[in-house]
Structure 1
Amino acid sequence: MHKFIAIGDVHADFDTMWSALRAASCADAQGRPTLPVLTGLYQVVLIGDLVHPKNEREYGRLAGVTRFEVDNPDHLYYAATAQIRALEALKAYQEAAPHAVHIILGNHDDVVINPQYVLGTSGGLRHLEFDPEHGGLALPAHLRAWMRNFPRELRVASVQFAHASPLPAHLYYDDLFYADHGPKRWFHESPEYVDMAGLSFGIYGHTQIEGGILLNETHRFAMIDALNSREYLELMLDAQQATPVQGVRAVPF
């Protein structure tokens, strides 16, 4: 039996991510894996979207400016370099315990390593800091290579960790993904997808949840894009046995 600690979409809020890892006894004060992680007793899962702050205020905090301007090359440079430093630290953390630290590929991660789209927020903010064609800074090649190895899902027995939903079509971030409202709405419009996929439980992000992690016990899934609410998901799983999920809970920190 192993303890899984699942953390929702980071969106460049690495300080809060590290706070969650420390609170879960998965990282020490220097950002290194703890003994339970090194031995594999604790399994860490980041559900994707490491990059791109969610709003202008977070961009300003990251870039160290009072008012972030998306068309200001200096601001884009500051935002990019701050995220690059944070990604380097996370890469080192994962490489110290690759058997126990799993990072799912989110659509924001994918668009940085495969720049086909310009993503933005509902408020009109565009994520351009890693887009050289729009004045941004290209992600270094070694970080792109690292992120290209992120899996699109993690299966442990009949439990799925994925960025958006249980649907195979939502594992690929193409024109259909961005044209379809399903990745954002399935959990309240079609929650039976988890059962249809033959899963005993599913853990997903992508859709920001206000008020903390959403646990749907009836349809056996959790929506965990709730890092801004300072919560992570904890559950017990046996990777060798198809046993039911145990001890599922949202943990405040």
Structure 2
Amino acid sequence: MRKFLAFGDVHADFDLLWAALRAASCATLDGLPTPPVQAGLFQVILIGDLVHPKNERDYARLTGLPRFDHKNPDHLFLAAREQIRHLEKLRAYQEAAPHAVHIILGNHDDAVLNTSYVLGTSGGMVHVEFDPDHGGLILPDHLAAWMRSFPRELRVGTVQFAHVSPLPAHAHYDDLFYADHSPKRWFRESPEYVRMAGLDYGVYGHTQIDGGIHLDEDHHLAMIDALHAREYLELLLDPGQDEPVQNVRAVPF
């Protein structure tokens, strides 16, 4: 039996992510994997969307600016530089225990690699710090290659970790994905998708859950985009059992 620790969408709040990893005994103060992670007893899952702060306030905090302006190239430079610095540290953390640290490709990560899609917020701000056509920087080649290596899902027996949902269409961030409302609604309108996919349990992000992690015991799923609410998910899994999920709980930190 192994412990799986899943962390919701980061959106460039790396200080909060490291606080969660340390609270979960997954990272040392120096940002290295702890002995249980090195041994593979703890499996770390980041559910995607490493990049792009969620709003202007978060961009300002990241850059140290009193107010962030996405049309100002100097501001974009600072936003890109700070994210690159943190991505380098996270990459080193994963490379120190690649057998136990897994990062799912989120749609915001994909948008950095494929800049034909300009993502934004409900407040009208756009995420263009890694888009040179809009005044941003190009993500360094080694970080882009690392990000391209992220899987779109992780399966442990009949347990799935994915960014959006169990639907294959929701793992490809194309025109149809962005025109469709179901990626944000499926877990309330059609939670039976998990069982229909032949899964015993599913863990997903993408949709921000304001009240903390959403656990649906009836439909065997967890929505974990709740890092901002200072919660991560802990699962005990034994893939060799008929009921592989032994325990699921939201953990505050």
TM-score with structure 2 length normalisation?
Answer: 0.99
> Which deviations, in whole Å up to 9, do the C-alpha atoms of 1:19-52 show, x marking residues without a partner?
0000000000000000000000000000000000
Of 88-97 and 234-243, the range deviating more from structure 2: 234-243
CA distance in 2, matches of 1:117, 1:156: 31
Preserved CA contact (<8 Å) 2:161 2:203 = yes
Counterpart of 1:112 in structure 2 is 112
Instruction: Give the letter for the 1:78 counterpart.
Output: L
CA distance in 2, matches of 1:148, 1:239: 28
Counterpart of 1:31 in structure 2 is 31
Instruction: Give the letter for the 1:89 counterpart.
Output: K
CA distance in 2, matches of 1:111, 1:241: 38
Q: How many residues align?
A: 253
Deviation at 1:247, TM superposition (A): 1.5
Alpha-carbon RMSD across the aligned residues, in angstroms, is 0.8
CA distance in 2, matches of 1:84, 1:239: 36
**1:111-150 equivalent positions in 2, closer than 5 A:** 111-150=111-150
**1:207-246 equivalent positions in 2, closer than 5 A:** 207-246=207-246
Counterpart of 2:5 in structure 1 is 5
> Which deviations, in whole Å up to 9, do the C-alpha atoms of 1:123-167 show, x marking residues without a partner?
111001000000001100000000000000000010000000110
Of 82-91 and 116-125, the range deviating more from structure 2: 116-125
Secondary structure at the residue paired with 1:22?
helix
Identity over aligned residues, as a percent? 74
Secondary structure at the residue paired with 2:82?
helix
CA distance in 1, matches of 2:187, 2:153: 17
Secondary structure at the residue paired with 2:49?
coil
- Residues 140/242 of structure 1: CA separation in 2 closer, same or farther (3 Å cut): farther
Secondary structure at the residue paired with 2:27?
coil
Give 5+ residue unaligned stretches, structure 2. none
TM-score with structure 1 length normalisation?
Answer: 0.99
Counterpart of 1:91 in structure 2 is 91
CA distance in 2, matches of 1:37, 1:242: 26
Preserved CA contact (<8 Å) 2:6 2:46 = yes
Deviation at 1:240, TM superposition (A): 4.5
> Which deviations, in whole Å up to 9, do the C-alpha atoms of 1:149-187 show, x marking residues without a partner?
000000001000000011011010000000000100001
Preserved CA contact (<8 Å) 1:157 1:242 = no
Instruction: Give the letter for the 1:186 counterpart.
Output: W
Counterpart of 2:45 in structure 1 is 45
CA distance in 2, matches of 1:117, 1:194: 28
Preserved CA contact (<8 Å) 2:48 2:105 = yes
Instruction: Give the letter for the 1:88 counterpart.
Output: E
CA distance in 2, matches of 1:243, 1:184: 28
Secondary structure at the residue paired with 1:4?
strand
